[in-house]
Amino acid sequence: MGKAVPLVEEPTEAGEGYDATPYLPARGGLAALRRAAADCRGCPLFRDATQTVFGAGSDSARTVFVGEQPGDQEDRQGEPFVGPAGRLLRKAMNEGGLDERQAYFTNAVKHFKFTVAARGKRRIHKAPSLREMTACRPWLNAELAQLDPEVIVVLGATAAKTLLGSSFRVTKERGTPIESERGLVVATVHPSSVLRSDDRAEAYAGLVSDLRVVAGLLE
Ligand code: URA
């Protein structure tokens, strides 16, 4: 078992001015949160995105998977992890012994941030800033409070930064359960980094191996 790491809870100064808090509903469960998030204007990312992509999955999920932000297809369809990275993640979960019906999928940031290629209309993913991540954090906090999962699976550096702080290194600490006040957290690579990897088979095997650790925690 790894060492206890406090989850980052307080907005930092870097997040000043951007904040989703005023958009959160005073009461209600996940459905109320999802409805309210559709109108979030807590940071400027809503302007260019098609829609808010809130978390989705089982209301009684044992695991919550936290990614970075919706991608192009997620932005169009309004659902997290429905594009190539999501397909790869589900395949790896299956091989790692995790049932996707007992999982909930969400992102650190709920709007797609992108630039448009100089020629053509292709929308290219752009990493969210610390301000945007901090502004969006109340939604993730509220989802985790509602779901109270047994294990939170952090996918890649952005989600790790949001939940575990900027000094956390996924490459060093991946696949090791970490105790936090929200329960156990396991960090692993983002599935899109597997898709981009020079050695995709090796990167994929690493992801599956980390997910087997998660499956072991649920036994
Ligand atoms: N990448 C993410 O981090 N989240 C998604 O929902 C899709 C791709």
Domain extents in the chain:
21-217
Q: Identify the CA nearest to 59 among candidates 141, 151, 148.
A: 148
Ligand 1 nearest-atom number relative to CA 190: 3
Q: How far is the CA of 198 from the centre of ligand 1 (A)?
A: 20
Asked whether the beta carbons of 52 and 111 are under 8 A apart, the reply is yes
What pLDDT, on the 0 to 100 scale, is given for residue 173? Answer: 97
State pLDDT tens for residues 61-107: 999 999 999 999 999 999 999 999 999 999 999 999 999 999 999 99
Mean of pLDDT over the chain:
93
Quick: pLDDT tens for 179-196. 987 889 999 999 999 999
Which pLDDT value is given to residue 182? Answer: 82
3-state DSSP call for residue 33? Answer: helix
Q: Which fold has domain 21-217?
A: Uracil-DNA Glycosylase, subunit E (3.40.470)
Q: Ligand 1 centroid vs 5 CA: distance in angstroms?
A: 25
Residues in contact with ligand 1 (CB, 6 Å cut-off): 67-71, 74, 80-81, 83, 85-86, 107, 192
Contact 8, 158 (CB under 8 A): no
Burial class of residue 122 in the structure, from the number of CB atoms within 10 Å of its CB (0-12 exposed, 13-18 middle, 19+ buried): exposed
The alpha carbon of 188 and the centre of ligand 1 are apart by a number of angstroms equal to: 14
Give the pLDDT mean for 153-158.
97
Residue 189 three-state SS: coil
Q: Between residues 162 and 10, which one has the greater pLDDT?
A: 162
Tell the burial category of 141 from Cβ atoms under 10 Å away from its Cβ (0-12, 13-18, 19+). middle
Task: Work out the percent of the chain whose per-residue pLDDT is above 70.
Answer: 93
15 has pLDDT over 70? no
Give the distance (Å) from ligand 1 centre to CA of residue 145: 21
